[in-house]
Amino acid sequence: MSIRVFVFLGPPGSGKGTQAKLLAQRLGIPHISLGDILREEVRSGSEIGQKVKSLIEAGRLAPDEITIALAEKRISREDCQKGFIFDGFPRSQAQAEALAQMLKRENRNLEKVVYLEVDKEEVVNRLSNRRSCKKCGAVYHLVNNPPKEPEKCDLCGGELYLRHDDEPEVIRTRFEVYEKETLPLIERYAQEGKLLKIDASGTIDEVFSRLWEALK
């Protein structure tokens, strides 16, 4: 059986987590969000968490050596043997280079880099209405994908909150960082023939249908 490795790229709020999770369910491989892993480090108060807390809260990137080590550790786990989906990794040239080396060492092939394209206005709306579960990390949108009961997670009953980096000031910084550090990767993967551009406007289901059709 072939090993399937995907990367999801796109601006903050483009729907990377939402779509990567749907694809992961469909394919039966894990969804790996570096943002989720880093937030968990912060929540647990680990040494890594203490190092990255202020960077994440300010909308800046965590240091490459930290994210690369976390990514490598995660994909060495048993559940990644049939493949995995990275969401929000790589985000810099150094991370892209490290991923290429990791895959080469394991004799694995990057299948596609899904690039979610959507305009800034839509993304700001998505982020300011996003609510995340404190306990299990599930993601909602107050208008497009609301929880059944206000402020309560459908899955685990946990409390919903607005991510610290979804404040308007921080969203602005995240965009700047994205444009400077991550956008150049689009060119890199286009040259490698790996890039799959997906129009990420419209409903969650519409975007997923587009993605699924394009992957077939």
Name the site residues for ligand AP5 (rule: CB under 6 A): 10, 12-18, 33-35, 38, 55-56, 59-62, 67, 88-89, 91, 95, 126, 130, 139-141, 144-145, 165, 174, 202-204, 207
What spatial distance separates the first Cα and last Cα of the chain, rounded to whole Å? 17
Query: In the bound complex, which residue of the shown chain has the CB atom lying closest to ligand AP5?
Result: 35
Q: Give the residues across from 111 on adjacent strands.
A: none
Residue 148 burial by Cβ neighbours in a 10 Å radius (0-12, 13-18, 19+): exposed
Contact 42, 163 (CB under 8 A): no
CB of 122 to ligand AP5, least distance (A): 8
Kindly tell me which of 17 and 90 has the beta carbon lying closer to Mg ion. Answer: 17
Q: How far apart are CA 96 and CA 154, in angstroms?
A: 36
CB of 62 to ligand AP5, least distance (A): 4
Kindly tell me which of 11 and 83 has the beta carbon lying closer to ligand AP5. Answer: 11
CB of 213 to ligand AP5, least distance (A): 15
Q: Site for Mg ion (CB under 5 A): which residue of 17, 59, 83, 90?
A: 17
Kindly tell me which of 11 and 17 has the beta carbon lying closer to Mg ion. Answer: 17
Q: Which residues are catalytically annotated?
A: 16, 91, 130, 163, 174
DSSP codes, 91-111 = -SHHHHHHHHHHHHHTT--EE
CB of 108 to ligand AP5, least distance (A): 19
Q: What residues contact 95, with CB distance under 8 A and at least 6 apart? A: 64, 67, 68, 71, 89
Question: Which region, judged by CB under 5 A, interacts with Mg ion, from 13-21, 76-84, 96-104, 154-162?
Answer: 13-21
Which of these, 58, 116, 66, lies nearest to 87 by C-alpha position? 116
Kindly tell me which of 29 and 62 has the beta carbon lying closer to ligand AP5. Answer: 62
Which of these, 67, 86, 87, 71, lies nearest to 16 by C-alpha position? 87
**What does the binding site for Mg ion look like in residue numbers (CB under 5 A)?**
17
